[in-house]
Amino acid sequence: MARTDQSPKLILASRSPRRRELLAEAGYRFTVCPPSASAESGDSGGQRPERPEELVARLAHQKAADVVRRVEKGVENRVENRVEKSVEKGLILACDTVAECDGRILGKPSDEIHARQMLETLRGRQHRVFTGLCLWKVPEGKPKTRVAVTTLRMDRLSDEQIDTYITSGGWSGKAGAFGYQDRLGWVHVIEGSESNVVGLPLELLAEMLAEMPEID
């Protein structure tokens, strides 16, 4: 992994506390500037359904573009109930994560019923988690977007186990309705990055940073 003490300052385009934790634990310097709500969703408008890798790449780019526009305009952004002025240069880092099982894309569940449906789909089966990662140098940079993929297997959970997890609320805000970082014990990585399952593939981030031009 790249030496984070020499890495450029990152501008994290995300509201996710898990992504903030991963960056902080890895030693990266960063500020937080979440994208607007409208940038975090939206149909591609294409004639065919998007593959999961296409979806996460598009949404990561879309989130980064939203923050780039606001940073370049010097707009003030509200971060964790404080008003902070956007930095003038750095690397925008935006991500989007979904789970996929047999071609069905599973994003964040909308409610308990939706979360239960996702877990019932995934239990006892292998599935994949995709994260699109976009880095965009500001000012005057060009976006670079890549996708990380991790293969997992979920134990064959009983209805009672699913009930317990749904009641805990641990599914909220998590692609596929589970939080791997919660050390559940019934989701296992078969191949790929563990941090990718949490929402930020640190190995891919390090590779992409090593390819980026230096920023003071």
- The active-site residue out of 43, 66, 96, 159 is 96
Residue 215 binned pLDDT confidence (cut-offs 50, 70, 90) = low
Using the CB atoms, write b or e for 47-74: b if 16+ within 10 Å. eeeeebbbbbbbbbbbbbbbbbebbeee
Whether 96 is catalytic = yes
Domain boundaries, position 156: 4-211
- Give 84-132 pLDDT, tens digit per residue: 454 557 899 999 999 899 888 988 899 999 999 999 999 999 999 999 9
Question: What is the average pLDDT across 192-200?
Answer: 92
Query: Given this model, what pLDDT does residue 86 score?
Result: 47
Question: What is the average pLDDT across 45-69?
Answer: 88
Specify which residues 133 forms β-bridges with: 95, 146
- Residue-averaged pLDDT of the chain: 85
Residue 52 binned pLDDT confidence (cut-offs 50, 70, 90) = very high
- The 3-class SS string of the chain reads CCCHHHCCCEEECCCCHHHHHHHHHHCCCEEECCCCHHHHCCCCCCCCCCCHHHHHHHHHHHHHHHHHHHHHCCCEEEECCEEEECCCCEEEEEEEEEEEECCEEECCCCCHHHHHHHHHHHCCCEEEEEEEEEEEEECCCCEEEEEEEEEEEECCCCHHHHHHHHHHCCCCCCHHHCCHHHCCCCEEEEECCHHHHHCCCHHHHHHHHHHCCCCC
Is residue 216 situated within a structural domain? Answer: no
Is residue 161 situated within a structural domain? Answer: yes
Whole-number percent of the chain with pLDDT over 90: 55
Residue 9: pLDDT above 90? no
Count of domains forming the chain: 1
- Give 58-93 pLDDT, tens digit per residue: 999 999 999 998 877 764 444 444 444 545 578 999
Is residue 171 situated within a structural domain? Answer: yes
**Residue 190 sits in a domain of what CATH number?**
3.90.950.10
Residue 163 binned pLDDT confidence (cut-offs 50, 70, 90) = very high
Specify which residues 148 forms β-bridges with: 131
Among 2-11, 52-61, 77-86, 163-172, the minimum mean pLDDT is found in 77-86
Terminal Cα-to-Cα distance of the chain (whole angstroms)? 20
